[in-house]
Amino acid sequence: MVEIRKDYFLDVFSIVLSQGMPKEQFKEGKCVLCPGNEELTHPADLVIVKKGETLLKQSDTEGDYVKNWVVRVFPNKFPFVSPNAPPSYGESPHYSEPAVGYHYTLVATPKHDLTFQKIDTEQWTNILASLQDKIRWLYTQRGVGYVSAYVDYCKDSTSLSSHPNIQILTTPKVPPIIEKEAETVQTSMNELGVCPMCRVISSESSGPRQVLSTDSFIAFAPWVSRFPYEFWIYPKKHQTSLLKLSQKEMTDLALMLRSTLGGMSKSLGSADFGMIFHNSSEKKTTKQIHWHIEVFPGVHQLSSFEIGTGIFVNMVPPEIAGQQLGSSSRKELAQLVGIS
């Protein structure tokens, strides 16, 4: 069984699976994401290979796996959603629909032990370009209303997350949080003629919560940070999706990610974090948002109060987070710019 269920009253959804939790990060003692173990995964439909200075797009075929890759994207063996989800529809109060969709793993580096924070800017541009490519393709597929891309990284975990990877998951509808953001943006655009996030960006610029500013991006700890040291990365100009990035902006975002994730891990002494891309849906009929990345340092378990009320308790004021992460991220940036 794989279906999406909606709450009796609220816009709250669960993907309900009967397959149990995946435990096959290591198969026969081998990491399935590592080079040399490609045949333990499904064939990859996007493999980036570097030949001299040129990047080539290739794909595996059954029994013939591309070697010496820099990024590899393949269908997850334990998908949360499936293109062949059995039809299962339920009416209110037991509303359900088939969990139709695609679930991919993007391996962010061939090096198992390289933490996300040490991935260099060149590799980050490879990752971002591969992500653009895959997301664009997914929107051409049947039953895809929204594509989410996220990271759950825990260095010492024995689960899938210890080898740097990005999960790409589609849902038939736009998730409630993105939908809510889009409604707010649309209302403000209609009534005031401005994007509310563009206003937030100008009010957080050079303020106490700013973490880092580059040519095209700004990172800041949001006014209502749910988690300690949470920070968001926004394009400074109004832009609706990662898919709209120019090559120059992508290089700048790579620099921003390398600097802030590097600064975060040095400042907090931990490589663990979660991260999600909030893009607008590419479906023609949907409302648009000002796209961004949300980063949650550490590994989080919600308290019952947080789950039961939706109110978060955060022991680190975002002003402190902005200052602390800012100082270490600026050092990283200075080193990177100094070297290159």
- Which residues contact Zn ion by CB under 5 A? 31, 33-34, 112, 163, 195, 197-198, 238, 290
Distance of closest approach, residue 163 Cβ to Zn ion, in angstroms: 3
Q: Cβ 225 to Zn ion, closest distance in Å?
A: 20
Dihedral pair phi/psi, residue 232, rounded to 5°: -120, 145
Q: Which helix or strand (DSSP H or E) is residue 26 part of?
A: strand 26-27
Classify each residue of 142-160 as buried b or exposed e, where b means 16 or more C-beta atoms within 10 Å of its C-beta: ebbbbbbbebbbbbeeeeb
CA 142 centroid distance within chain? 22
CB of 195 to Zn ion, least distance (A): 3
Q: Minimum CB separation from Zn ion for residue 65, in Å?
A: 15
Give the residue with the Cβ less far from Zn ion, 6 or 292. Answer: 292
Q: How far is the CB of 199 from Zn ion (least distance, A)?
A: 8
Using CA atoms, how far apart are residues 91 and 93, in angstroms rounded to an integer? 6
Q: Which two tokens stand for residue 149?
A: 């891309």
Amino acid identity, residue 229?
A: Y
- Any residues with CB less than 8 A from the CB of 73 and at least 6 apart, and which? 44, 45, 46, 47, 104, 105, 106, 107, 130, 134, 168
Residue 180's φ and ψ, nearest 5 degrees, are: -65, -45
Rounded Cα distance, 263 and 71, in Å? 24
Residue 245: phi and psi, rounded to 5, are -65, 135
CB of 10 to Zn ion, least distance (A): 28
100 vs 242 by CB, closer to Zn ion: 242
Q: Which is nearer to Zn ion, 96 or 184 (CB)?
A: 184
For Zn ion, give the closer residue by CB, 197 or 268: 197
CA atoms of 120 and 125, how far apart (whole Å): 9
**Residue placing its CB nearer to Zn ion in the complex, 13 or 116:** 116
Contacting residues for 75 by C-beta, under 8 A, at least 6 apart: 42, 45, 102, 103, 104, 105
Q: Residue 169 Cβ, how far from Zn ion at the closest point, in Å?
A: 21
Q: Determine contact, residues 171/156, Cβ cutoff 8 Å.
A: no
In the complex with Zn ion, the residue whose CB is nearer, 238 or 300, is 238
In this complex, which beta carbon is closest to Zn ion, that of residue 242 or of residue 333? 242
- 167 φ, ψ to 5°? -95, 135
The residue (of 57 and 199) whose beta carbon lies closer to Zn ion is 199
Which residue number, 6 or 209, has a Cβ lying nearer to Zn ion? 209
Report whether 189 contacts 183 (CB < 8 A). Answer: no
User: Least distance to Zn ion from the beta carbon of 189, Å?
Assistant: 9
Q: How far is the CB of 201 from Zn ion (least distance, A)?
A: 7
